[in-house]
Structure 1
Amino acid sequence: MEHVQAVVIGSGFGGSVAAFRLADAGLSTVLLERGQAYAPGQFPRTPAEMGRAFWDPRKSLYGMYDVWRFDGYDSVVSSGLGGGSLIYANVLLRKDEKWFVHEQALPGGGYEHWPVKRADLDPHYDDVERFIGVSPYPVEFEPFGGTAKTHAMQDAAAELGLDWFRPPLAVSFGTQTGAVPGLREQLAPLAYPNLHGAARTTCRLCGECDIGCNDGAKNSLDHTYLSAAKHRGADLRTLHEAKRVRVREGGGYLVDYVRYDPDTGHRESGTIGCDKLVMGAGTYGTVRLLLASGLPGMSPALGSRFCGNGDLLTFLLKAKDRDRIRPLDASKGPVITSAIRLPDELDGSSTGRGAYIQDGGYPGFVDWMLFGLDVPGQLARTAEFLWERFADFFSAAPDTNLSEEVADLIGSGALSVSSLPLLAMGRDVPDGVLSLDRDGNLCADWTVATSKDYFDRIRGTMQKMADVLGARYHDNPLWFRKRVISVHPLGGAPMGRHPGEGVCDAYGEVFGLPGLYIADGAALPGPVGANPSLTIAALADRMCTSILTGTKAAHPTGPAGDADPEQATGTGAGPAVGTAGPTGGEGSGSARAPKERGKGGTSLSFTEEMKGHHVPGACDPHDEDRGAKLAFRLTITADDVTRFLAEPGHLAGAEGWIEAPDFGGRRRVERGWFNLFVPVSREGVLEPDRREMRYRLFFSDVQGRPLTLSGWKDIHHGPATHIWPDTTTLYYRIFDGHLAEDAEESVVGAGTLHIRLVDFVEQLTTFRTEGPDGLGALNRFGRFFLGELWDVYGPAGD
């Protein structure tokens, strides 16, 4: 039987990140995607093509859209290489810091709890944003007339006293990072080709984001993470649908799958074994697969905490700009260009659950929509569709898959467009339950009842926006049945602190089933509130760091301890993880997981921010205000405090970012180490009154050139007034390559960094522990720190 180190099921935001990270680390990785690959120019456009752009293999449909119908709830998800990124509206927003709730009571009983915090995800948010490439809708496009709806949203927000902004979009408006936006210009090539081998051009403001970008302007997952994964050796297998997961005798897992052949309709069954299995098939796909597989020891929380991320679709008909002169044309620009934020009760400035309202759009062409009006039989097909849906409202067993019916309707071109769609999402109540019926069909027990106040608030705000824009407000046509349409189903296999609370832990690993991970929206224990794609990807990135380091503290080890020497060389083939992408160029090499350390102990972490200058070409640091700016923000983690204090090198991991214009802006620390109070020898003689705090950080510049920042704080005997400057001043050099030791011939620059008082005060609030006896571990660390300072600066040193 075929066996690999890692299998990833699904290629959405969780699966794609996982496939790249694992392949980049050198693991043999196979990704199974049920849908097809779509190169630029291959997305459907004609009425006939759109009519078959749905997923239902039983009806020989292998398209992108998978439409689901449940009691009180309809949903649209994606099928294809790149998952939801193929048809989403490009928005990558972070979850609001205060919306990471902890044991917040739910109206119907129970509670919502996020076992992660915003600080846990921020470094991974940074990495994903850089990797995919994001920027807001540029104001430079105003001369092209593409921002009428953007200005209308801004005017409505100003009139209503609400916050308006242009969110980050995963769209290439310029040919490369920092380039002036232009329409349909060829993108600059990367260090490796995209998996389609196709040319890509910048956005042409056609509003076709949700039906697949035929220009390649969307930085969708197939152009970013999946192309990088393939470049690193991942085996991406399309038209492979996982059907069952089994525990493998002797360890690992088996995945039974079906391979489709759309040309012949033939299906071929197969099985693949793996050591690690990552579930990224989307909320419905992952939960249904877990429910159907009946894995031993699965948490009773499976199926719980389901919600639709507060999604609501409404329409403003015949909307005009604020002067009531120019009608809006929502087909100009990308689908979403701006957003309005409704505050949450958690913000302390409002009552009710928060949300975002975003402008919608539709394709710039409408011929295919109107063409069907002249097709004989159109009226009959529409009437038949509506009658079947009406009958389903009162059916005891409604059809949960609408793909065939919707495909027939859209293929006839019966749908029309509206003036301005409004898309809302926010913090609805995650009290739904997913289950299987007797026939193995997925069922969702969720209604708008417990979220009524939330939806009423959204609808009321949208109605006020309609008044400002002189428009007629229209609900989703299904709202009269208190139904919503969601494109962001979440939950069903939520993360938690223990099996009674969740299916997986805060790193995505399933309780009781080591090596099985959940990397998609199913793992979310409640609504993100904002568009969830970025949060799903950041959680997957954090999960992979944990997998590759072998620790739930998710921080690496270092060269002063037990690192593999092959991971720290000057050749550029060092431990770069996650460095490939459209904004950063190809990565500098693959990484292998370091040896496991500190397992079962108590970890301690804190965050440090330092700012200063960098002098290119300098060989020695200069403590003066010259050169370009350079700063870093690091989270330092000792995986096991007891071991950390006992080791002579007092080694901890460091991750975060370095920001320097000389190297292309903010660059991810690909791997980093920190040593606290290392004894110093001069010419072989130990200096008892001297210590160093040492930093070694691997990163790469914007061209992908590997670099090493090697720094030290000089802690030496003197008056007590020297403690502050000594412990807050870092002298550093930057070397060419990823080096385990300094090499004078490789110096490319040097400088000095300082901790400002305000940043030091913030640093004191960032100390965290994880594991047993956290307070005791923190006390031991504090006593050690103060004791070392006393040894150096105290009277005994005289």
Structure 2
Amino acid sequence: MNETPRTGHPVSRRAFVGGVAGLSALGALSTVRSGATAAPRDGRTAIVIGTGFGGAVAARRLGEAGVTTTVFERGRRWPIRPDGNTFATTTNPDRRAAWFGSPAGPSAATALPVEPYPGVLDHVMGNGVEAVYGAGVGGGSLVFGSFTPVPRRQDFEHIFPAAADYSELAATYYPRAKQRLGVAPLPADILAHPRYVGARSWLKVVDRYGATPHFFDFAIDWDIVRAELAGRRTASVSIGESSYGNNSGAKKSLDRTYLAAAERTGNVTIKPMHEVFDIRPRSRSKGFVVSARVLDERGRTVRTVTAEADHLFMAAGSFHSTRLLVEARAKGTLPRLSPRIGDGFGVNGDFLTIRANPREDFGAIQGGPGYARIYEDDLSGGPVSMVYQATPLPAPLGKAATTHLVQAHTDERGTIDFDHATRRGQLNYPHPADRNDLDRRANAFIARFHERTEARYGFGTNGVHVSSRATGFGSASTYHGLGGVVMGAAATMDGAVRGYENLHVVDGSFIPGAVGLVNPSLTITALAERTMDRFLAAH
């Protein structure tokens, strides 16, 4: 694990786009303090599949409750190296960037010619859309943009059923999730730094457009960013790096927060490089038997292992959690699963655009992660939001382009279905020829944004917007795939998967395709905290 992987592979323009696209009451029912060791409670056991935001919450809460818990994670651990070379970088990607070369191939939106390796990004090539997931201990937190916004009530309630109860989340679970993730806003002294001229310029653009900027928190240790700016740490956040991991250690990924707290209880064992492939009920009593392949660093199966437990928590990410259940239902190992497993997959309304050649000074290098969301509520079809994301271009190219994530309400949804030819789950999403809702709404906003700023300040002030799917922008891909085991449909509002006792879902597959015009990490964390409160109260 201390080997320094080979670097220097060429990166295509589409590969760069794929990297940029990722650019998204405290413990009331816990039985012990965070990090304390709890005696196993009544001999109960649990298995958690996945270590992303939902799985990390489940692991910590189970460990603190004294439940002996095994966590299967298909990816490797990514400890921050003293030499600042833990992860690949966007401008110099190598094998660490891709989950066993998943982006490679003629149909992929990114094409990195790298040897197979358990890298941090898994590109799921669906029919109609590409969905990107983190792979490693910490899941999506390793590669997300560190944005942790709370959605507006009106946007949340536009998507979620009334029983999701925004008021309860806002009063208890969003604050708890923020505290445990250790989030904080961008400090004034860092915003004032020359490296962050891009964030300041974005505020000027917002003012010209006539919108109100909405600020939010980040899962970032800003003291480490200060060390980056002072030259005492490897530059990473301060140069816009995020999508392949953060080499300075400034990103507060889950392996350093929730998962570290889970392991400190003494009741949680995390098993990296264990890829689950089979789930079935335990024959002699309630519970489940889970089988996993133990992988080496070339993706070969070293051996297979099985484990059994009283309770099973699905947290492998929206696609993979759903895929495992779809496969189990089709193969007959979990035949009583709801026929609605696999329905309701959405892309969180994501639409990526780049402004090329903007007039404002965004700096030779853009400091990250990004800054300030704006909303446009006066559009037919519903509100739209847009946020600035620092673009990790090498100096002096930071002045050349800025990246923005537009998010719009859309009813477009896909499915995750069993493919009898491959005997695996397949992501199916409406093809561009069959849909125009998201693209139409996002492009209508971009046109208004462009026209309004140019009408006030003259031709050329807003740069040239690039959002074509053919170039990898627009709605070609998402880092925020959600749904598949949706609340109120395939699962109850308490996160119980219909058809089997003691089977729960805690990750993004529980969410009905979107969270409300913001990045979903904080909402997944908050909902998982609530699910675990209810589970522990009932068990």
TM-score per shorter chain, which class?
0.7 to 0.9
Distance 1:202 1:539, change over 3 A: farther
CA distance in 2, matches of 1:116, 1:481: 32
What amino acid is the match of 2:535? I
Q: Match for residue 466 of structure 2?
A: 474
Q: Match for residue 170 of structure 1?
A: 219
Q: Match for residue 144 of structure 1?
A: 193
Distance 1:464 1:27, change over 3 A: farther
Percent identity of paired positions between Structure 1 and Structure 2? 27
SS in structure 1 at match of 2:536: helix
The 8 Å contact of residues 330 and 362 in structure 1, kept in 2 or not, is answered as: no
What amino acid is the match of 1:281? A
Residue 119 of structure 1 is aligned with which of 141, 151, 167?
A: 167
SS in structure 1 at match of 2:405: strand
Q: Match for residue 247 of structure 1?
A: 281
CA distance in 1, matches of 2:254, 2:473: 36
Deviation (angstroms), 1:52 = 4.7
Deviation (angstroms), 1:362 = 3.0
What amino acid is the match of 2:205? A
The 8 Å contact of residues 40 and 200 in structure 1, kept in 2 or not, is answered as: no
Q: Match for residue 34 of structure 2?
A: none
Deviation (angstroms), 1:97 = 1.3
Q: Match for residue 18 of structure 1?
A: 58
Deviation (angstroms), 1:69 = 2.3
Q: Deviations over 1:497-549 (max 9, x none)?
A: xxxxx111112111231211111111112311211110101111011111111
Q: Show the 5 A alignment for 1:667-682.
A: none
Distance 1:540 1:130, change over 3 A: same
Q: Match for residue 317 of structure 1?
A: 356
Q: Match for residue 480 of structure 2?
A: 488
Q: Deviations over 1:626-648 (max 9, x none)?
A: xxxxxxxxxxxxxxxxxxxxxxx
Which moved further from structure 2: 67-76 or 295-304?
67-76
CA distance in 2, matches of 1:207, 1:354: 28
Q: Show the 5 A alignment for 1:574-723.
A: none
Q: Runs (4+) of structure 1 moved beyond 4 Å? A: 46-49, 199-204, 364-367, 479-483
Residue 304 of structure 1 is aligned with which of 343, 347, 365?
A: 343
Q: Match for residue 227 of structure 1?
A: 260
CA distance in 1, matches of 2:368, 2:428: 32
Q: Match for residue 130 of structure 1?
A: 179
Q: Match for residue 272 of structure 1?
A: 307
CA distance in 2, matches of 1:203, 1:45: 9
Q: Match for residue 43 of structure 1?
A: 87
Structure number with higher relative contact order (C-alpha < 8 Å, ≥ 6 residues apart): 2
CA distance in 1, matches of 2:155, 2:139: 26
What amino acid is the match of 2:221? S
CA distance in 1, matches of 2:306, 2:89: 36
Confirm whether residue 157 of structure 1 aligns to residue 145 of structure 2.
Answer: no
CA distance in 2, matches of 1:245, 1:417: 51
The 8 Å contact of residues 278 and 516 in structure 1, kept in 2 or not, is answered as: yes
The 8 Å contact of residues 306 and 434 in structure 1, kept in 2 or not, is answered as: yes
Q: Deviations over 1:291-327 (max 9, x none)?
A: 0111232112111111100111111111132xxxxx3
CA distance in 2, matches of 1:151, 1:161: 16
Distance 1:466 1:434, change over 3 A: farther
Deviation (angstroms), 1:142 = 4.0
Q: Which has the higher strand share?
A: 1
Q: Match for residue 510 of structure 1?
A: 497
TM-score by length of 1: 0.54
Q: Deviations over 1:91-110 (max 9, x none)?
A: 111222123337x7xxxxxx
Deviation (angstroms), 1:340 = 1.3
Residue 238 of structure 1 is aligned with which of 272, 285, 296?
A: 272
Q: Match for residue 359 of structure 1?
A: 388
CA distance in 2, matches of 1:145, 1:538: 35
What amino acid is the match of 1:34? R
The 8 Å contact of residues 299 and 503 in structure 1, kept in 2 or not, is answered as: yes
CA distance in 1, matches of 2:339, 2:507: 19
What amino acid is the match of 2:246? C
Residue 442 of structure 1 is aligned with which of 422, 426, 429?
A: 426
CA distance in 1, matches of 2:310, 2:444: 48
CA distance in 2, matches of 1:436, 1:417: 46
Deviation (angstroms), 1:465 = 7.3
The 8 Å contact of residues 6 and 275 in structure 1, kept in 2 or not, is answered as: yes
CA distance in 2, matches of 1:475, 1:350: 19
What amino acid is the match of 1:319? P
Confirm whether residue 455 of structure 1 aligns to residue 442 of structure 2.
Answer: yes
The 8 Å contact of residues 315 and 475 in structure 1, kept in 2 or not, is answered as: yes
The 8 Å contact of residues 67 and 77 in structure 1, kept in 2 or not, is answered as: yes
The 8 Å contact of residues 359 and 421 in structure 1, kept in 2 or not, is answered as: yes
What amino acid is the match of 1:222? D
The 8 Å contact of residues 315 and 476 in structure 1, kept in 2 or not, is answered as: no
Q: Match for residue 217 of structure 1?
A: 250
Q: Show the 5 A alignment for 1:333-344.
A: 333-343=367-377
SS in structure 1 at match of 2:483: coil
Deviation (angstroms), 1:117 = 1.6
Q: Greater CA radius of gyration, 1 or 2? A: 1
What amino acid is the match of 1:152? S
Deviation (angstroms), 1:422 = 1.1
Q: Match for residue 432 of structure 1?
A: 414
Distance 1:460 1:350, change over 3 A: closer
The 8 Å contact of residues 439 and 475 in structure 2, kept in 1 or not, is answered as: no
CA distance in 1, matches of 2:472, 2:183: 38
CA distance in 2, matches of 1:524, 1:310: 13
Confirm whether residue 82 of structure 1 aligns to residue 138 of structure 2.
Answer: yes
CA distance in 2, matches of 1:23, 1:508: 19
Q: Deviations over 1:130-154 (max 9, x none)?
A: 1111122122124421332222222
Q: Match for residue 226 of structure 2?
A: 182
CA distance in 1, matches of 2:501, 2:137: 27
Residue 73 of structure 2 is aligned with which of 18, 33, 44?
A: 33
The 8 Å contact of residues 508 and 518 in structure 1, kept in 2 or not, is answered as: yes
Deviation (angstroms), 1:51 = 4.2
Q: Alignment length, in residue pairs?
A: 462
CA distance in 2, matches of 1:43, 1:520: 25
Q: Show the 5 A alignment for 1:531-550.
A: 531-550=519-538
CA distance in 2, matches of 1:418, 1:75: 27
Q: Deviations over 1:659-700 (max 9, x none)?
A: xxxxxxxxxxxxxxxxxxxxxxxxxxxxxxxxxxxxxxxxxx
SS in structure 1 at match of 2:527: helix
SS in structure 1 at match of 2:243: helix
Distance 1:204 1:311, change over 3 A: closer
CA distance in 2, matches of 1:461, 1:35: 43
Distance 1:226 1:185, change over 3 A: farther
Confirm whether residue 64 of structure 1 aligns to residue 120 of structure 2.
Answer: yes
Distance 1:366 1:31, change over 3 A: farther
What amino acid is the match of 1:227? A
**CA RMSD, Structure 1 to Structure 2 (Å):** 3.0
Deviation (angstroms), 1:185 = 9.1
The 8 Å contact of residues 153 and 339 in structure 1, kept in 2 or not, is answered as: no
CA distance in 2, matches of 1:134, 1:204: 15
What amino acid is the match of 2:272? T
Deviation (angstroms), 1:459 = 2.9
CA distance in 2, matches of 1:480, 1:466: 26
CA distance in 2, matches of 1:19, 1:282: 15
Q: Match for residue 373 of structure 1?
A: none
The 8 Å contact of residues 364 and 395 in structure 2, kept in 1 or not, is answered as: no
CA distance in 2, matches of 1:57, 1:34: 15
Q: Match for residue 99 of structure 2?
A: 55
